[in-house]
Amino acid sequence: MLALIAGTGALPSEVVDRLDDRPLICAMEGFTPDTVTCDIEFPLEQLGSFIAELKARGVTEICMAGAVRRPVIDPSRIDPATMPLVPILQQALMSGDDGALRAVIGIFEDAGLTVRAAHEIAPSLLPQLGCLTDACPSKEDLSDADRAAGILRAMGAADIGQACAVSKGQALAVEGIFGTDWMLQSLTQRPDAGGGILFKAPKPDQDRRADLPTIGPDTVSATVAAGLTGIFIEKGGVIVLQQERVIEECNRLGLFLFVRERAS
């Protein structure tokens, strides 16, 4: 039996819509999903008891999908089943995003649960290789994508972000803790004539079972507002939400969307 630990945003519903059987839908307290109905809600301070309930219900696999921010642990709410996990959770909350997710995945695996990626149980979330739109990248755009891939490798080594914007070989902006939308918003008042590309990919050594980067229709409009001419994403590494609508919006706005081979 599969349990989906859902966060906010569109991804949980896109996963559920692609499955033959509805999973048990769970959510951490404070991050109730807005696109699917939740069966179980649990506080992080009772993670141990939540895992025990999953196993009692016959759950053998879990998938984490959707956005979740780092909660503040209330020591007064920690129950006995969770107490042994506190050192791991504290270290996770102090780590970068990938380090935190690896720690949480380890907790579930140590409990005997298999952690599966959203794109593993719903492969159609990942688009095929190549240009998906009427517009396609120029040689300059392809060169900027090579430059962007190098920037993301350096960012990944520091566990920082999964996106950057590049124009004429120069970094315009890099993603930090506030995410891709905030990064693109920072470019809406750029002092040059525009141009350049958005590049999005997982961190080089990222555990791809959780927090795979995503784009959606809002990314398209934000990319245009930032004065960029197209979007590169890594094949097998970036989920495209509402794929048909994304491609339609790109075509309407004259933007390209190119799925690139994973950088070596």
Q: What CATH number does residue 162 fall under?
A: 3.40.140.80
Q: How many other β-carbons are positioned within 10 Å of the β-carbon of residue 69? A: 11
Beta partners for 63? 4, 116
In a shared domain, residues 165 and 107: no
DSSP string across the chain: -EEEEE-BSSHHHHHHHT-SSPPEEEEETT---SSS--SEEE-GGGHHHHHHHHHHTT--EEEEESB-PPPPP-GGG--TTTGGGHHHHHHHHHS-HHHHHHHHHHHHHHTTPEEE-HHHH-GGGSPPSEE-SSS---HHHHHHHHHHHHHHHHHHHTT--SEEEEETTEEEEE--TTHHHHHHHTTTT-SS----EEEE---TT--TTS---EE-HHHHHHHHHTT--EEEEETTT-EETTHHHHHHHHHHHT-EEEEEPPP-
Average pLDDT for 89-109: 76
Average pLDDT for 4-18: 91
Cβ atoms of 30 and 71 closer than 8 Å: yes
Domain that holds residue 83: 2-121
Cβ atoms of 199 and 262 closer than 8 Å: no
In a shared domain, residues 117 and 95: yes
In a shared domain, residues 140 and 232: yes
In a shared domain, residues 90 and 141: no
pLDDT of residue 190 exceeding 70, the answer is yes
Q: Which residue has the tokens 């990319």?
A: 223
In a shared domain, residues 23 and 79: yes
In a shared domain, residues 139 and 193: yes
pLDDT of residue 148 exceeding 70, the answer is yes
Q: Where residue 105 sits, what CATH number does that domain have?
A: 3.40.50.20
Look at 205 and 180; give whichever has higher pLDDT. 180
In a shared domain, residues 63 and 164: no
Name the band, by pLDDT with cuts 50, 70 and 90, for residue 99: low
Name the band, by pLDDT with cuts 50, 70 and 90, for residue 224: very high
pLDDT in the model for residue 1: 92
Residue 237 token pair: 């590494």
Q: Average model confidence (pLDDT) for the chain?
A: 90
pLDDT of residue 98 exceeding 60, the answer is no
In a shared domain, residues 255 and 130: yes
DSSP string across 107-174: HHHHTTPEEE-HHHH-GGGSPPSEE-SSS---HHHHHHHHHHHHHHHHHHHTT--SEEEEETTEEEEE
Residue 138 token pair: 């120029």
Q: How many other β-carbons are positioned within 10 Å of the β-carbon of residue 190? A: 17
In a shared domain, residues 173 and 231: yes
Instruction: Point out the domain boundary residue: 121, 153, 188.
Output: 121
Tell me the pLDDT tens digit for each residue of 44-61.
Answer: 889 999 999 999 999 999
Instruction: Point out the domain boundary residue: 96, 121, 146.
Output: 121
pLDDT in the model for residue 41: 93
Look at 70 and 176; give whichever has higher pLDDT. 176
Name the band, by pLDDT with cuts 50, 70 and 90, for residue 89: confident
In a shared domain, residues 31 and 147: no
| 22-26, 32-36, 117-121, 192-196: which is most confident | 22-26
Residue 86 token pair: 């506190």
In a shared domain, residues 140 and 85: no
Instruction: Point out the domain boundary residue: 100, 121, 142.
Output: 121
Average pLDDT for 202-212: 77
In a shared domain, residues 143 and 50: no
pLDDT in the model for residue 176: 86
pLDDT in the model for residue 87: 86
Name the band, by pLDDT with cuts 50, 70 and 90, for residue 102: confident
d(CA 175, CA 154) in angstroms, rounded, equals 12
Cβ atoms of 173 and 148 closer than 8 Å: no
pLDDT in the model for residue 159: 76
Look at 72 and 231; give whichever has higher pLDDT. 231
C-alpha distance from residue 140 to each of 143, 146, 196, 223 (Å): 5, 10, 9, 18
Average pLDDT for 163-182: 92
pLDDT in the model for residue 205: 75
| Number of domains, the chain | 2
